[in-house]
Amino acid sequence: SKTTHAIPFYNILWAELSEFEISIRYAKPSGTNVVRVSTINYPIEKPYHPRAIAWLEHLLDRAYGESQRKKRIKLLVNPFGGQGRAQKWYLRDIEPILAAARCDVDLQKTQYQGHAVEIAEKLDVDAFDVVAACSGDGLPHEVFNGLGKKPDARRALRRIAVVQLPCGTGNAMSWNLNGTESPSLAALAIVKGIKTPLDLISITQGDRRTLSFLSQAVGIIAEADLGTEHLRWLGNVRFTYGVLGHLLRKTVWPCDLAVKVEVPTKAEVRDHYRRALNDRSLPDNHRDGPSAQEAANLPELRYGTINDDLPSDWTLVPYPQLGNFWCGNMAFMAARNMPFAGALPNDGCMDLVTINGDISRLKAISCIAGVETGKFFDMSHVNYRKVSGYRIIPRNQKDGYISIDGERVPFEPFQAEVHRGLGTVLSKSGHVYEAPGVVAKKGEVGS
């Protein structure tokens, strides 16, 4: 009897014709959150080869859609990622899928912190389509900053898609763009990924300028993340442990804060998000080829640096009871951790959350559950805005933690400014994150 195979187009990796048969390679589900390469072969006689060739081309068109076939990938493996298991996960879960999809892979192991910055800075951007980081979120941060150091930084950041194959303890980038932290499912998502512009944020601190793609934090989130590095063996539990400790002590981090607000209320954020769902237009810098000026160094800073006078339409406001300052460019910060429900890849805004440190312990603890259940955005004690820039100046504290994309930077004032669509990633949808998002409630108005 004949056997029928039902394979989603999304799972088809490659199909080709040999002298005697058609061969179809696809990603076959194997257990929970795992796919493995499988093959189906169909015999075909030579007189039918022309029709088979046309059919195969149509099949691959359906299978890849907007996505580029046979991607050329510079693949960086952090041998210390995932508690030393990144290389094992690559060989077992990722490499077979990339090979079956006929991707051209150039693999290189990073040797030390900052090595990916050097690799990306020297990369021939015309030789590759993608830089893939087999790591946590630290390596993509380095890659963006390495591309940002190139003489033609803007062209490089537009030309090369930076992606994450989740092999670390923090895999936020993959959750947002691939919808998973499974290495094999993420590999499939990247094979089928659609080029997507990504906002990047310039951070100026002292005389330094760096790029951020994920988040910036001062207060309880930074302390709970960076202050528990010695507990990494606990996995994600270490973060909850750190948060609870500060919540019970009602710790505050006084600061002065100035922001350039673009969308001031939660109702307007919902409306902004709804409009973005229906608008797939590209940012101006991704529509046409860049001019010589556009291909050059990073964009000029509209709001200046941390060392310049405050922009005339900004006001520095004291926050003596700040408990948490958290600014995000993506929705998820970890598995089941979605503090920035309204975040979009390229709306030219950062999503800013501030919470006072003197709220009741019950309300503070409810924030932890809210982040995981999707109720965080609607909590009355959560101040949520979309901004295009800000300046934060810590007060009355000699030392502490400031987190930029999960990396520690000096505890001193810094300024941030978003650049719409400066970077490039691959996503499943091509224009939104793999997150529930926020939409306007019935009867709600933007006020």
Q: pLDDT tens string for the chain (447 positions)?
A: 457 789 999 999 999 999 999 999 999 999 889 999 999 999 999 999 999 999 999 999 999 999 999 999 999 998 887 677 889 999 999 999 999 999 999 999 999 999 999 999 999 999 999 999 999 999 999 999 999 999 999 999 999 999 999 998 889 999 999 999 999 999 999 999 999 999 999 999 999 999 999 999 998 888 877 765 655 555 665 556 566 666 666 678 899 999 999 999 999 999 999 999 888 777 766 655 555 556 678 999 999 999 999 999 999 999 999 888 999 999 999 888 899 999 999 999 999 999 888 888 788 778 877 888 889 999 999 999 999 999 999 998 888 899 999 999 999 999 999 999 999 999 999 999 999 999 755 555 443
Q: At what angle do helices 138-147 and 115-122 cross, to 10 degrees?
A: 40
DSSP three-state, residue 403: strand
Residue 74's DSSP bridge partners are: 106, 131
- E strands, 67-111, are 72-77, 104-109
Instruction: Say how far apart CA 70 and CA 99 lie, in whole Å.
Output: 9
| Structure tokens, 42 | 């169909």
Interstrand relation of 194-205 and 317-319 (parallel, antiparallel or unpaired) = unpaired
| Count of other CB atoms within 10 angstroms of residue 136 | 24
Global pTM reads: 0.92
For tokens 């307007």, name the residue: 268
Instruction: Say how far apart CA 213 and CA 200 lie, in whole Å.
Output: 5
For tokens 């009741």, name the residue: 360
Instruction: Return the C-alpha torsion angle 85, 86, 88, 90, nearest 10.
Output: 160
| Structure tokens, 94 | 């990722």
Size of the chain, expressed as the number of residues it contains? 447
| Closest CA relative to residue 319, chosen from 377, 252, 386 | 252
| Closest CA relative to residue 198, chosen from 170, 166, 229, 157 | 157
